[in-house]
């Protein structure tokens, strides 16, 4: 077991449930000191406090003041921030003709603005630790292909991907890597019904849907020393979906 001083410190947003929580638990299981975040009070928040204790935080990551206070609390408690994982991002399904302007604004705020605010707050601590940042995309971004039912969501994630690549370029001189992990269909308790569509799941080339553990392992790899020369890239965790 690594010493307390050598143990990495991770901050995982969107960790009240779903894939963010799976990532937080996976990093904790491999020995990292993991901080988690919730936005809305409820049963999930109470469970986070029970499981992660003083490393569970409340913050609205659309508010720069909250994001700054969150990172400050992490560093004050554990002295550093090595891994920043941003698993925040609302999802909306349906054709563009049925999407409202408020839908688009909400998707951009949740998926892009929150990432911008979060990375701005985490950047100084990550530079100090020569750390890793990982954001969540969605499969199929690299081809900028048309979408029938997820165009607004994919547009928001595409904007995030441009930020990720640009942050990677800016932060490379500081030793900070910035990458995107893009899941495909990953059923879980809080997943959107689209993820549970048997017809879609049957089209996955590897023959099965993904699991939260698949995604958590991919994030852990991007946070590891083995990925220290990997930056500005998208790691697909989709079983070959959209090949």
Tokens of 188: 């879980």
153 is catalytic: yes
Query: Among candidates 81, 111, 105, 115, which has minimal Cα distance to 11?
Result: 81
- Cα–Cα distance, 102 to 176 (Å, whole number): 35
Q: Do 160 and 111 meet the contact criterion of CB atoms below 8 Å apart? A: yes
Please identify which of the residues 38, 153, 167, 241 carries the catalytic annotation: 153
What are the catalytic residues?
Answer: 153
């Amino acid at each position: 077991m690594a010493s307390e001083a050598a143990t990495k410190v991770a901050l995982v947003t969107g960790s009240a449930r779903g894939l963010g929580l799976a990532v937080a638990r996976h990093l904790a299981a491999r020995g990292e000191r993991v901080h988690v975040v919730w936005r809305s009070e409820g049963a999930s928040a109470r469970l986070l406090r029970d499981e992660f204790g003083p490393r569970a935080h409340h913050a609205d990551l659309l508010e720069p003041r909250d994001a700054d206070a969150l990172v400050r609390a992490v560093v004050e408690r554990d002295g550093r921030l090595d891994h920043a994982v941003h698993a925040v991002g609302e999802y909306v399904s349906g054709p563009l003709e049925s999407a409202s302007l408020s839908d688009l604004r909400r998707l951009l705020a949740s998926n892009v603005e929150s990432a911008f605010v979060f990375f701005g707050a985490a950047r100084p601590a990550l530079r100090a630790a020569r750390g890793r940042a990982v954001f969540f995309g969605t499969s199929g971004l690299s081809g900028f292909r048309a979408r029938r039912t997820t165009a607004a969501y994919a547009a928001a994630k595409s904007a995030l991907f441009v930020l990720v690549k640009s942050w990677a370029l800016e932060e490379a001189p500081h030793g900070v890597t910035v990458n995107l992990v893009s899941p495909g269909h990953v059923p879980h308790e809080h997943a959107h019904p689209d993820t549970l569509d048997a017809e879609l799941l049957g089209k996955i080339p590897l023959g099965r849907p993904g699991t939260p553990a698949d995604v958590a392992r991919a994030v852990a790899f991007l946070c590891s020393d083995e990925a220290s020369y990997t930056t500005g890239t998208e790691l697909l965790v989709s079983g070959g979906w959209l090949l």
